[in-house]
Amino acid sequence: MKKKIGYLGSGAWGICLANLLAKNGHDVQIWSATRDILDYIEEKKEHPKFPGIPLASSLRGTTNLEELIQDKDLLVESVTTKGFRSVLQKMTAFTTKLPPLVITSKGIEIGTGLLLPEIALEILGEQQQYLIGCLTGPSLAQEVMQEMPASVVAAAFDLDLMQLIQRVFTTPYFRVYPNVDVFGAAFGGAMKNIIAIACGISDGLGFGQNAKAALLTRGLHEMRKLAPVKNCLVETLNGLSGLGDLATTCLSTLSRNYTFGKLLAEGKNSESAKNNIGMVVEGVSTCVSVRELGHKYQIPLPITESIYSIIYENKNLSEVVKVLLTREIKEEYL
């Protein structure tokens, strides 16, 4: 059944999913804070980050947030973690009866340590948790735009919403699996970005596949250690929103977090690397949030600490790697 969908965010992933929904037969309107990118989409009918790949002709754009949420069956967001709270607050100022919201951004808020679904619950109220869901998992925007096979997770507090997300997003090339662990799904998608930066650094330093496999595995261990404090089911991290997303982000040169790490290893500073990528690198801020959570709950997170020290304390990469490699070896606990 055709749905009226308002899409928040016009970055690479936002336009990618809005296009998927439009091609799936839904009426999709995209919101952006700036007009330029909407004009580009309407004129060129292609993704500005992936020229040559056509967009659905039915896609419409607006810079008016109040217009976007009117008469919609569903809202989907792909804004930055930093901007998520303010956008949601602005929407609730227009109406107390928002349509259901699908969160696709991946991050943890600095200062509060809140996952994006937790921020939504804080703003909308626990009594409206039935309106909150998320879509996450291993899904590189360029590959989805090219209609290459991908499998992701739809999680929601409400069964009907979870099934709705599954129906509107599923295509022959984009498989959507249901999952009831909203926090676990959101947490895995956020924290894996830190490990991807580490893997990019490792490759940039020429450390080879053995080192990257160790980082990926020990990174998953860090995720599993911290997950319980965010009320996540640890076993969720064994699935698409955990290990699946971790593998894709750590192993692909299409990943912006992996690329950011590689650029650091090649000698660029943090700002220069971000400018080179030209898109938000969520792992940069997420490592601050995760480090804060580790300190708060006294959970050692050596990879996260290492990435933080490189980005925010300008520590020498070789010295940081040396510290990691000379840590006391303990029995592997899974």
Inside any domain, residue 332: no
Predicted confidence (pLDDT) per residue in 76-130, tens digit = 999 999 999 999 999 999 987 899 999 999 999 999 999 999 999 999 999 999 9
Are 240 and 177 spatial neighbours (Cβ–Cβ below 8 Å)? yes
Strand, coil or helix: 135: strand
Inside any domain, residue 315: yes
Helices 256-265 and 182-204 cross at an angle (nearest 10°) of 30
Instruction: Point out the domain boundary residue: 180, 209, 229.
Output: 180
Helices 282-296 and 81-94 cross at an angle (nearest 10°) of 90
- Per-residue pLDDT averaged across 53-69, rounded? 94
Predicted confidence (pLDDT) per residue in 121-173, tens digit = 999 999 999 999 999 999 999 999 999 999 999 999 999 999 999 999 999 99
Instruction: Point out the domain boundary residue: 121, 150, 180.
Output: 180
Domain span at 20: 4-180
Of 192, 212, 230, 262, which one is the catalytic site residue?
192
Predicted confidence (pLDDT) per residue in 283-326, tens digit = 999 999 999 999 999 999 999 999 999 999 999 888 888 777 77
Write out the E strands in 68-139: 74-77, 101-103, 132-136
Q: Are 25 and 49 in a shared domain?
A: yes
pTM for the structure as a whole: 0.95
Confidence of residue 333 (pLDDT cuts 50, 70, 90): low
Confidence of residue 334 (pLDDT cuts 50, 70, 90): low
Would the pLDDT of 227 be above 80?
Answer: yes
Burial class (CB in 10 A: 0-12, 13-18, 19+), 42: middle
Amino acid 323: pLDDT: 79
pLDDT more than 90, % of the chain: 87
Element (H, E) at 269: none
Q: Are 100 and 230 in a shared domain?
A: no
Inside any domain, residue 135: yes
Our answer to whether residue 296 is catalytic in this structure is no
- Per-residue pLDDT averaged across 14-35, rounded? 95
Q: Are 66 and 42 in a shared domain?
A: yes
